[in-house]
A and B are shown apart, each in its own frame.
Chain A
């Protein structure tokens, strides 16, 4: 608070104009920056997406968007489709978990990547790491069930202290696999 304001009386209009001016300046600065950075950000995001898909399906040399489906991609190798990369979402311990799931033509999980999540650091966020990841890869939809029983080696062992996150991630992947099977089977 500066001294000169405490002496004078300001009308409500002047006070409002003061705030309006501050917001206007801030808006102008943000708009200017956005104008400059947005094209760069979009380009970078597209490159990152390609890289992320390439990391999931290592053999693929091209990713083609599937028409009629939003954000679905075909992973191609030499012009032939070897896998599908589809987005999936499920509700975890701390809100939505967004994933990118790569599914082979036979309906097996090739890989997955958690793009956005809000799970407990050190517990639930291990879902994107080994050994949890290794359990999921190569499985079909029927075997994608989370269990706490160590003798059920066919299924997926829940992460210690993060059963809800484990279930949510596996559910999201399972849905993606089922959708792909339906899509590829009906073709």
Chain B
């Protein structure tokens, strides 16, 4: 049980997909201009990465290693297409909202990376938790970027005006350039905290 928790936990902070592994920076720039967009994208990835990890883990013994990458991509594409079809039929409004973002999930580096690095070598239960953890870390990262960008760029969070009329929105934060600058600072912040943690652990180990 403890092991599964550790697998889950590492995706959230120590191996956070965006801030530490620096994978899937493209959606982190493109879809985080508002908090709501960032959250929906994060949750879609959370679902797809978990489902894909399970399917890759289940089929890992029958897939020939020479064609594993195309097979993983096929698996991801199948899951995304299923989600699209189901949303279209049962939640058309949500489908309209997610639009092209959903199709983009297919090519996210983080999903393929987890399939290759983790799910292809581990049984289904750890793979499930790895997907869940990585997805949660991704969602948290997307959401935190989204909240800061929306607050600075529009003075609102989730569309609710927080800062008053006195605030002159910083346009750059909504544009990709502002997103890049912000992600840079966040990566630096994460690195600082992780270094600190490692230092303290080393000290404790020596004492």
Contacts and interface: CB of A to CB of B under 8 A. Distances in A.
Interface in B92-117: 92-93, 99-100
A154 to B, nearest CB: 27
B174 A123 contact: yes
Nearest to A126: B154
Contacts of A16: 67
Given A26-B75, A121-B37, A15 B89 contact: no
Chain A contact surface mostly: helix
A5 B65 contact: yes
Interface string A100-123: 000000000000000010101111
B60 interface: yes
Interface in B56-96: 59-68, 70-71, 74-75, 77-78, 81-82, 85-86, 88-90, 92-93
Contacts of B85: 30, 33-34, 37-38, 41
Nearest to B76: A26
Interface residues of A, number: 34
Contacts of B65: 1-2, 5-6
A18 interface: yes
Contacts of A44: 88-90, 92
Nearest to A12: B66
